[in-house]
Amino acid sequence: MDAVNTLLAKVRENLIKSLNLATDQENKLITMWKSEKRSKRKALNNDWLSYYENFKKQGNVEAQIGEHWEKEGHNFVSATKHLREKNRYSILNGFLTTRCKKSRRDFAKDMTNKANELNALDKVVRYLKENVFPKWSKKIVDVVSTPYTWAVEEPRYVTVSNTYSSVGFSGNDPTVCKQDFSTLFSKVRVLKTTGGRFYLDPNDLTHSENYDFKRKNKLKGSPQCQLFATGIPVGRAHSCSKSDFATAKVDLTGTPYSFGKAATHMFAPLGRKTAGSSATATSGGKVLNLKIRGRCGDLYGDDAGAEMADYRSDPIPLETQPMVKSGR
């Protein structure tokens, strides 16, 4: 029995030694595995850090490349704009060079024509001074040769009756008047020059109303007329009929003013086929009567005369006794 126990003890001892040896070997293997794992992890971490640094450097390089591309793009756009401006200025320079050459030629031609016109006009003026003006009365010469210099004063109006202007027989012409009508005046304005002369202002429509051609019914709204969009000036008649007359009248009865030769001299029928048209002063110069026909005929006061008419009604000279205060 002792031998068996001894044998068993020996076996147990050997088994324990084998287990201890196996444990030591296993611990060594575990230690080696852990060391190898740490080494691999460290190497892997180092590789990842290296990759990160490389990527970071690569990113910086690519960002720099992007900045260079952006600058190059801006430079290209700027160069394109400058090239466009260069081309535009080149085209403009060529155009202006050609234009200036043509303009200089046209200017020289125009100046030559104007010089010829001035020379011809000088001859006309010389002829008028020698042969026409001496035959005019002093009053007429004063009217047509003296520029207007108006006195600064409150508007001066005088009450009138049976005073009107008219446009008739226009035939619905859109370039003249689509509508025949008359403008009636209850007051007219009188202007005074710094020299003390008095004129009737034909273009003041303050105290006027527009009626139909026969002066029976008041118009609603503005007249359909391109020539006289708001009303017809005082002392003006217009007709587009070679047989029918349009008339106008200015009646200064009851006022200190009247019309003389200087006034009637300003009225010359304009247009074709105006035979029979006239401007006359009656009732001692108190009433100015106008009648006109033609294709188309226009009769109004123009201080430039028929040859130089500008179709704008000019102030009409008045004769007067010592001025009394008049209604406004």
**Does residue 121 lie within any of the structural domains?**
no
The string of pLDDT tens digits covering residues 22-50 is 888 888 888 888 888 888 888 888 888 88
**Does residue 114 lie within any of the structural domains?**
no
Q: Which has more confidence, 94 or 64?
A: 64
Residues 228, 159: one domain? yes
The string of pLDDT tens digits covering residues 204-225 is 999 999 999 999 999 988 888 8
The string of pLDDT tens digits covering residues 234-257 is 999 999 888 899 999 999 999 999
Is the peptide bond prior to 296 cis by the omega test (within 30 degrees of 0)? yes
Residues 97, 160: one domain? no
Q: What angle do CA 56, 61, 63 make, to 5 degrees?
A: 95
Residues 159, 95: one domain? no
**Does residue 129 lie within any of the structural domains?**
no
Residues 90, 165: one domain? no
Residues 98, 204: one domain? no
**Does residue 79 lie within any of the structural domains?**
yes
**Does residue 116 lie within any of the structural domains?**
no
Residues 168, 311: one domain? yes
Residues 97, 191: one domain? no
The predicted model scores a pTM of 0.54
Residues 176, 302: one domain? yes
Backbone phi, then psi, for 80, in 5-degree steps? Answer: -65, -45
Domain span at residue 61 reads: 1-103
**Does residue 145 lie within any of the structural domains?**
no
Q: 145-174 as b/e, with b when 16 or more CB fall inside 10 Å?
A: eeeeeeeeeeebbbebeebbbbbbbbeeee
How many domains, in total, are found in the chain?
A: 2
Domain boundary among 76, 103, 130: 103
What is the distance between the alpha carbons of residues 116 and 119, in angstroms, rounded to a whole number?
5
Domain boundary among 71, 103, 135: 103
